[in-house]
Chain A
Amino acid sequence: MSVSRRDGDLIMGLINIILFLAFQRSNGPMDARHVDVIAQMPQNIRAALSKFDLDSRVVVYAVCPVCHCTYKPRYDEGSTYPIYNEFCTNRPEPESDICSESLLRRVDNDNGHHVMKPIKPFVYHDFHDYLASLLSRADLEEAMDKSCDELMRTRDDPIPEYVEDIWEAEFLRTFEGPSPGTIFIDRQGEGRYGFTLNVDFFNIEGMRTHGRTTSCGLISMACLNLPCEIRYKPENMYVAGIIPPDQPSTTQLNHYAKPVIDALVESWDNGVRYSRTALHPHGKTTHSAVIAAVMDLPAARHASQLAGHSSHFYCSACQCFHRSTMGRTDHTQWVMRDVAKMRRNAERWLHASTSKEREDIFKQHGTRWSEFWRLRYWDPTRQLVVDAMHCILEGLAQQHFRFVLGLTSSSAANEPLPQKAFSHDFTKIEHDGEFPDNMTLKEVKQVDAIHGLLTMSLEGVGDDGHVVDQESFAESLLSLTRRLSSKNMKALQFVCKDLECHPVVPLLPNRSEARHTRLYKKDWVAALITWVSFSFFRHVTLLTCSLAARETSSTLWASSPEDRDT
C-alpha cells in the first residue's frame, strides 16, 4: 500500500535497469526507438508521480512563530518560486506595535545557492482543488448532485417520521442559499455542496502514557452530498491543513482558519466555476457551504471564539448564564442566543481600538471575533453542533460510570468502607488552615482515616458482647493493627494524644530499660488498639466490658499472632 520515497526510487531504478537490459542487443547499439523509451523513463519516483499530475495543490504559508499570523506567498510572473514577507506585519493587539518577528530562515541547497524558507510553515491544501478532485469523478459528481435533486423533489412532503440522514432533516430544507429568497439546495444547474467542518487538536506523537506531547491541530471537512457510506472515506475527506505545534491560543486560531474560510467565502459569494467536470465538459459553477461545524467542546469554543465551556457563558446555543445554572432542566424555558447580536459584538470586538475595550466586550458578551463570522450564513446556535460522541459517550457515560458510580478497579480494590460500630467525638483537623505538629496534608487525611478505623466494628463478637469466635476476633484485631501501622507516625501520635492514651512502655524482664525509653510506631498502634478494645466493648455492652477488654489488652502486647491465640 504505502511505499516510502526511497523504496519507490529503488523500484524505478530497477525498472530502468530491466528495460535497459531487455533492450540491449548483443550486436551493436540499441534501437533508436528503445533509446527514446529509456530516455523518457523517469529516474526516480518523484518524477514518475509528477507525470501523472496526481499531487494536490498545496500552498505553504509562512507562520509567524510568535503571533501565529499566516502569510500567503507571492509568485513572480512565470516562476513557481514562492516569495514571502520577511517580517511579520501583524498587530496582535489593537494598540500594540507591529510584531516584526522574522519569518524566514536561510536554507542552503545543494548547488551552493541558498533559498529563504519559512521558519514555521503551514501547508494549506486548496479547497477548490479538493472539490475539483471530487468532481472529476463521474460517480461522485452524480451522487453529489442527486442528493440535492432528491431533496428538492420531496421538499414539500412533510419530514419523514424516521429521519435517516441529514438530507431528510429540517436544516437543509430551510437553509437559505447565496441569493436571498432561494434555498441552498435549489441548485438550478449549478453545484451546491454542503460540508461538515471539524477542528480538533491531537497529539501527533500518538497517545502513549508518558509519551511526548506535541499538540497539533487538524482542520478537516467532509462533503455531506456524498452518500453516507462513502462520505467519510479518507480519500473523500478534505484536510485543509495541520496546525503546527504550539497550540494557538484564542484568536490566534483565526489565522489558520483564514485560508479555508477565504475559499468558502469566495465560493458562497461569487461561486467557483470549474472549466470542466466529469459530467459537465463545458464547465459548472459551484457554491459550497459549511452546514455544520462538528467539534468537541473545547475546540468548538476555540474555533467560534466564544467564551470557554467552563466560563459563565458555558452554552453556545442558549442564553443560560452563570455556572450555577448548569443543572437546569427546564429546557422548554430556554431562550436561544441572538445571532445578530452575537455577530454585532464580534464585529465590535474586531474593530475595537484598545485591548481594554476588547476585554470588556468579551467579559460582557462572551464573544470575540472569529473568522467564521465572515461566512454570511454562520449561525453558531444552529450550526455549531454539540458533538454527541464527545458529549454523551466520552463525557456523560464516562463520568457516570467512572466517577459517579466509581466503577474502576482502583476504587474496587480499596478495602470496603469500615462499618461503623460506634461513634466518638474525635478532634478533627480542618483541611484548610494550619496543621498542628507540622503535619502534612497527607497526614491530616490519615488522621481522618484512623478515626474511621478506630470506630469500625470487630468481627467475632456476639450481640451480647461476648467474643463468640475467638479466631475471627483476633483476625480482625490483627487486620486493624496492620491497617493502623500503615499510617504515619505523626498522625498516630496526634490521635493518641487526642484520646489521651499514651503508650505504656512495657518492661520485658530480659531487656534493659534503656532500650524501651524510645517509643516505636508499634507502641503507638498498640495504645490505639487498647483504646479500641475498651471503647468498642463499652459501646457494645457494658456488662462484659471489663472482662473482654482485659482479656484482649493482655494479649495485645504479644508481637505475633501465635502468641495472641494462646
Chain B
Amino acid sequence: MRRIKDVIRDITTPSWLESVPNNYGDAAAGTLKADEWRNLSTIFIPLALISMWGEGTSHPSPQDAVMLRQILDHTMLVVSAISLVCMRTMTQTRATAYIDTMAQYLKDLIILHPETSYRPNHHMSMHLPHFLRLFGPVRSWWCFPFERLIGQIQRLLSNHKIGESL
C-alpha cells in the first residue's frame, strides 16, 4: 500500500495525464472516478506491484514468491485488458487479444482468489469485443461525456424546486 502511494508521489508524469489522489486507498480519498481508475490501473499500480512482486524481488519463502508472482501475472492480465479496451483506435487483432486476455483472466480469477465470485460485469466485459466491432473504439460510445454533463448539471445552483423557471 505504501509502495503505491510512493509511486504516485514520486513518478514523473506528462502534464496531460490527470493525477490520481496520492492518498489512494484512504477513506478520505473517497470513491475514485473512472478516469482515475484507468490511470491507476494502467500506470501506477503495475509499477508498484511489479517492483514488489516481479522478477528479482525477495520474499520470505519460495512459496510466497511463486504465489505473489502468479497474482501479479493475473493482475497484469486485467491491466492489459484495460489498456486494450481504452485504445483510441480499434483493430480486429486488438479486439481478439482483448477477449483472449479477458477469458484467461476470468478462468484464473476463481483459481487464484477462490473467495471471489463472478459478477455480471465479468460477463458483460466478455461482450465488449462485439460492440467494439460494431461501433469502433470505445470513446465514441462510452459514458464519459454523459457523466461529465451530469457533473455540470450537479454544479448548477438550484433552488431545490423541480421544473420551475425562476
A→B interface (CB under 8 Å): 4-5, 60, 118, 120-123, 161-171, 196, 198, 200, 202-207, 209, 218, 220, 222, 224, 228, 231-232, 234, 237, 239, 242, 244-245, 291-292, 294-297, 309-310, 314-315, 317-318, 320, 326-329, 331, 382, 385-401, 403-405, 407-410, 412
Q: Which of B124, B136, B147 contacts A386 (CB 8 A)?
A: B124
Known interface pairs A232-B148, A400-B75; A294-B163 also in contact (CB < 8 Å): no
Known interface pairs A5-B166, A331-B103, A409-B26; A164-B89 also in contact (CB < 8 Å): yes
Interface pair B141/A400, CB less than 8 Å apart = no
Known interface pairs A218-B149, A326-B118, A398-B32; A385-B163 also in contact (CB < 8 Å): no
Interface pair B124/A315, CB less than 8 Å apart = yes
Known interface pairs A315-B127, A331-B99, A407-B1; A234-B149 also in contact (CB < 8 Å): yes
Known interface pairs A200-B147, A244-B162; A393-B34 also in contact (CB < 8 Å): yes
Looking at chain A's contact residues, the main secondary structure is mixed
Interface pair B137/A163, CB less than 8 Å apart = yes
CA of A391 to CA of B129, assembled, Å:
13
Q: Which of A163, A245, A391 contacts B121 (CB 8 A)?
A: A391
Q: Which residue of A lies closest to B148 (CB)?
A: A232
What are the 5 tightest A-B residue pairs by CB atom distance, in nearest-first order? A121-B163, A232-B145, A412-B1, A169-B136, A395-B121
Interface size of B by CB at 8 A reads 79
22 A–B contacts, CB within 8 A, in A order: A121-B164, A165-B140, A166-B136, A198-B143, A207-B31, A218-B149, A232-B145, A234-B149, A291-B135, A310-B120, A315-B120, A326-B118, A326-B123, A327-B122, A329-B107, A331-B126, A385-B141, A388-B138, A393-B37, A403-B116, A404-B113, A409-B1
Interface pair B146/A198, CB less than 8 Å apart = yes
Interface string of B12-36 (1 = CB under 8 A from A): 0000000000010111001110110
CA of A229 to CA of B26, assembled, Å:
36
Q: Which of A204, A309, A326 contacts B158 (CB 8 A)?
A: A204
CB of B150 closer than 8 Å to a CB of A: yes
Interface pair B141/A200, CB less than 8 Å apart = no
Interface pair A294/B78, CB less than 8 Å apart = no
Q: Which of B99, B113, B116, B140 contacts A166 (CB 8 A)?
A: B140
B→A interface (CB under 8 Å): 1-2, 4, 23, 25-27, 30-32, 34-35, 37-38, 40-41, 45, 71, 75, 78, 81-82, 85-86, 88-92, 99, 102-103, 106-107, 109-110, 113, 116, 118-128, 130-131, 133-150, 152-155, 157-158, 162-164, 166
Known interface pairs A166-B135, A218-B149, A244-B162; A327-B118 also in contact (CB < 8 Å): yes
Interface pair B124/A391, CB less than 8 Å apart = yes
Interface pair A388/B86, CB less than 8 Å apart = yes
Which B residues are in CB contact (< 8 Å) with A220? Answer: 146, 149
CA of A170 to CA of B133, assembled, Å:
6
Interface pair B143/A170, CB less than 8 Å apart = no
Known interface pairs A326-B122, A405-B71; A317-B130 also in contact (CB < 8 Å): yes
CA of A491 to CA of B7, assembled, Å:
42
Which B residues are in CB contact (< 8 Å) with A387? Answer: 141-143
CA of A165 to CA of B92, assembled, Å:
14
Which B residues are in CB contact (< 8 Å) with A398? Answer: 32, 37
CA of A194 to CA of B68, assembled, Å:
48
Interface pair A392/B143, CB less than 8 Å apart = no
Interface pair B163/A394, CB less than 8 Å apart = no
